[in-house]
Amino acid sequence: MSYNYSGKIFKIRFPFTDLSSEKARPALALSEPDHFGDIQFVFITTQKSRSFGQTLDIPDNILPFSSLVHTDKLFLLNNRLIIKELAHVSTDFFESVLKKIIFNHVICYYNNIHRPSQDQNFIQGISRIPYGGRIYDEKEILNLIDASLEFWLTYGRYSEKFEKKLAEYLGVRYALLVNSGSSANLLAFMALTSPLLQDRQIKCGDEVITVAAGFPTTIAPVIQYGAVPVFADIELETFNIDVSKLEDAFSSRTKAVMLAHTLGNPFDIQTIKAFCDKYGLWLIEDNCDALGSTYDGRFTGTWGDIGTSSFYPPHHITMGEGGSVYTNNQLLKNIILSLRDWGRDCRCDSGKDDTCKKRFSGQFGTLPFGYDHKYVYSHFGYNMKVTDLQAAVGCAQMEKLPEFVRKRKENFNFLYEGLQELDKYFILPESTRKSDPSWFGFLITLKDNVPFQRNELATYLESHNIQTRNLFAGNITRHPCFDNLQEGKDYRLVGTLKNTDKIMNDSLWVGVYPGMSQEKLGYMVKTIREFVEGKK
């Protein structure tokens, strides 16, 4: 289809630019004439005139004077006003003009539709205080629109950028983007079952030390594969593994430790690392709830062999659905990449061929020599990539991460200070020695023999519009998904899980996410105090 108008600059009798007369002006046509002969134009001025608003420089040599397109000044004018054609802009320039116009409208949409609801006044007892949620501005939406317009859809430029930004932030060599935190955990664990790891490969029946108080998909991959999770109890104050149980948990089949930094609070990395080093065990850190937490000055998720993140909305940053697997180990990175991308041996980026220059000249398995490397499979893999649209949102979120982390810490401290006087009733969270947590939530555990129950507190807070959460599964071994598993064979318990059960029965958590204000936090403290007062 050929266009006679759009993408061209015309000299035009502008009827109303300065409300005085019909002036001759250049303008860039954005459309063909409609039924009435009307064309969408965008206004142009020379740089000599004063320029305000959203402008783009027109490349030299297109018009006799250096000129600007005012992308926020659109006019519908009839083609009979055209005096003559002046120039034709390049496709690249036209694209940047169109993009800018769209972006202007997106900002207008954000300011009018999203922003007012974000800025709404907080009304005690009426406004909901969620435990988490997306914090964003127009930049996330602009990136999303940009990726949509590009329409690459699959892993692309934003995905690559996000992986680089995350790796830089964490200080790791490799960060791979995947479609959820659960997928990240699955890939992290499955990577350790790769035959490429030779005698360190985890095999069916091998054991993995973990805890039962947490999120199901930290341990699901272990069971799905046919390895044996070994559940040790936790400490009530840090809600992380009680490291004094590690030696009891160990057996000749132990191959790995796989643990989450619960609610952002790092587990005792020093002790666990030393234990892993002593027995030659892998360490996977489920860092899904702890992005930005540090232990001994270094980010959690980067101490073990593999770390994982989730970017589901309540998490420290979000892209809707998303996750990441990170490591400093090149072999593990290659295995994870293979597993993420269908199990393939080839490591060409999406849309690229023959990066290794040996596409048709390798010998793999018992395949004929030179079989196309693009279709050679070294693992039984999955497809766990994200779309570039998700990554685009993530890139904007990465810019905000340091401030999000700061705010989470600040909010946590506010709640801690406000609730400290209730320590006769509650076990309040304690950050692990040597750590600086980027908290996911504020866990409150009822002390034994208090005159009320967890669900009474939860119901009271919920009825006052404060959202609460249990510590996920509480004790995962008590869930229906364990009904057909046999203790001692499919999983093992290290002694009793007394504290795990206590957390399952007597704990709940409230939010510390960056969407909290002092007003909201103050109201939360006040409401919890009121509840306790009423029960005395």
| Closest distance to ligand PLP from the beta carbon of 188 (Å) | 11
Q: What is each CA distance from 516 to 119, 131, 209, 318, in whole angstroms?
A: 12, 9, 36, 17
| Closest distance to ligand PLP from the beta carbon of 289 (Å) | 5
| Closest distance to ligand PLP from the beta carbon of 184 (Å) | 7
**310 is an interface residue for ligand PLP by CB under 6 A:** yes
Close Cβ partners of 151 (under 8 Å, ≥ 6 residues apart): none
Catalytic residues: 315
Rounded to 5 degrees, what are φ and ψ at 396?
-70, -35
Closest CA to 37 of 78, 95, 75, 98: 78
| Closest distance to ligand PLP from the beta carbon of 125 (Å) | 28
| Closest distance to ligand PLP from the beta carbon of 240 (Å) | 12
Are 232 and 250 spatial neighbours (Cβ–Cβ below 8 Å)?
no
- Between residues 110 and 189, which has the closer beta carbon with respect to ligand PLP? 189
- Between residues 210 and 217, which has the closer beta carbon with respect to ligand PLP? 217
| Closest distance to ligand PLP from the beta carbon of 50 (Å) | 50
Q: Which stretch binds ligand PLP (CB under 6 A): 63-71, 176-184, 224-232, 523-531?
A: 176-184
Structure tokens that stand for 397 in this block: 């979120």
Closest CA to 144 of 194, 110, 112: 110
- Between residues 185 and 438, which has the closer beta carbon with respect to ligand PLP? 185
| Closest distance to ligand PLP from the beta carbon of 263 (Å) | 8
Identify the burial level of 313 via C-beta atoms within 10 angstroms of its C-beta, where 0-12 means exposed, 13-18 middle and 19 or more buried: middle
Q: Which stretch binds ligand PLP (CB under 6 A): 42-50, 181-189, 350-358, 417-425?
A: 181-189
CA angle 172/178/179 to nearest 5° reads 145
CA angle 120/509/311 to nearest 5° reads 70
In 261-354 the beta strands, taken as DSSP E runs, fall at 282-286, 294-295, 298-299, 306-310, 323-327
**285 is an interface residue for ligand PLP by CB under 6 A:** no
- Between residues 287 and 527, which has the closer beta carbon with respect to ligand PLP? 287
**265 is an interface residue for ligand PLP by CB under 6 A:** no
- Between residues 390 and 527, which has the closer beta carbon with respect to ligand PLP? 390
- Between residues 101 and 256, which has the closer beta carbon with respect to ligand PLP? 256
**286 is an interface residue for ligand PLP by CB under 6 A:** yes
**394 is an interface residue for ligand PLP by CB under 6 A:** no
Binding track, positions 213-252, relative to ligand PLP; x by CB under 6 A:
-xx-xx----------------------------------
Crossing angle of helices 388-419 and 138-150, in 10° steps, is: 160
Q: Is the dihedral of CA 408, 411, 416, 417 positive or negative?
A: positive
Q: Which stretch binds ligand PLP (CB under 6 A): 177-185, 200-208, 405-413, 500-508?
A: 177-185
- Between residues 55 and 182, which has the closer beta carbon with respect to ligand PLP? 182
How many residues bind ligand PLP (CB under 6 A)? The answer is 15
Close Cβ partners of 198 (under 8 Å, ≥ 6 residues apart): none
Structure tokens that stand for 54 in this block: 């959203």
Question: What is the rounded CA–CA span in Å between residue 475 and residue 491?
Answer: 13
Closest CA to 503 of 443, 462, 452: 443
Please, which of residues 316-345 interact with ligand PLP by CB under 6 A?
323
Binding site for ligand PLP (CB under 6 A): 180-182, 185, 214-215, 217-218, 260, 286, 288-289, 310, 312, 323
